[in-house]
């Protein structure tokens, strides 16, 4: 059993990091990274200022769902190739060109943005709005919750490249807060 303590950390994660970490007296790693330290999964309400609401609405007003959705999901699948396993029914996702040309990727990118629009429409109750989506992604699809943050990061990159100087630090701060609330709502079923 002594050799287990000398295994690389990646192997420990794949065979059950919590159990092995407890055996060897180490703290287990968190199952996902929470880059939104001001927002804990158990938080019940987030307060939005009028300026934050206006900034988020301005971002949505500038979006072309079809092209932004396609590019965001394409970035996710290219930059983080392990996320492709959740899209097995999408056909050929073996290279960047195939992903960019895949109509199912484009369609799902639009669905993702429409889902975000649901959160926009009820910003004071995003957890309730996303309860069924959280259950679907955790129970049926078994999506790793860290992937929600990765997709949010890809979406932010695409939005920043489209809006350029209009995507000010103030607008980005409001957008990041919005995404953090959405990600926390999607992770809810996992906790």
SS3 36: coil
- Write down all domains in the chain, each with its CATH number in brackets: 50-69+106-187 (1.10.490.10)
Task: Locate 45 and state its tokens.
Answer: 């309400």
Q: In this structure, what is the dihedral angle of CA atoms 138, 141, 147, 151, given to the nearest 10 degrees?
A: -120
* Residues 6 or more apart in contact with residue 120 via CB below 8 angstroms: 56, 57, 60, 178
Query: Of 34, 30, 81, 32, whose CA–CA distance to 179 is shortest?
Result: 34
Tell me the pTM.
Answer: 0.77
Using CA atoms, how far apart are residues 130 and 82, in angstroms rounded to an integer? 24
pLDDT in tens, the chain (191 residues): 444 445 444 433 434 444 434 444 444 444 444 456 555 545 557 899 999 999 999 999 999 999 999 999 999 999 999 999 999 999 999 999 999 999 999 999 999 999 999 999 999 999 998 989 888 888 888 888 899 999 999 999 999 999 999 999 999 999 999 999 999 999 888 76
Using CA atoms, how far apart are residues 181 and 175, in angstroms rounded to an integer? 10
């Amino acid at each position: 059993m002594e050799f287990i303590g000398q295994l690389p950390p990646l192997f420990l994660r794949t065979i059950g990091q919590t159990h092995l970490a407890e055996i060897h007296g180490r703290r287990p790693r968190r199952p996902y990274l929470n880059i939104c330290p001001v927002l804990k999964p158990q938080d019940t309400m987030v307060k939005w200022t009028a300026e934050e609401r206006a900034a988020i609405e301005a971002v949505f007003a500038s979006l072309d769902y079809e092209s932004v959705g396609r590019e965001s999901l394409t970035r996710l699948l290219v930059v983080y190739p392990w996320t492709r396993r959740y899209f097995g029914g999408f056909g050929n996702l073996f290279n960047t060109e195939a992903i960019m040309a895949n109509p199912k990727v484009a369609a799902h990118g639009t669905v993702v943005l429409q889902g975000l629009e649901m959160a926009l429409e009820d910003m004071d109750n995003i957890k309730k709005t996303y309860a069924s989506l959280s259950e679907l992604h955790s129970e049926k699809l078994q999506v790793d919750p860290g992937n929600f943050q990765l997709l949010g990061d890809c979406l932010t990159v695409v939005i920043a490249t489209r809006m350029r100087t209009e995507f000010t630090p103030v607008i980005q701060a409001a957008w990041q807060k919005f995404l953090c609330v959405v990600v926390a709502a999607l992770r809810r079923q996992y906790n």
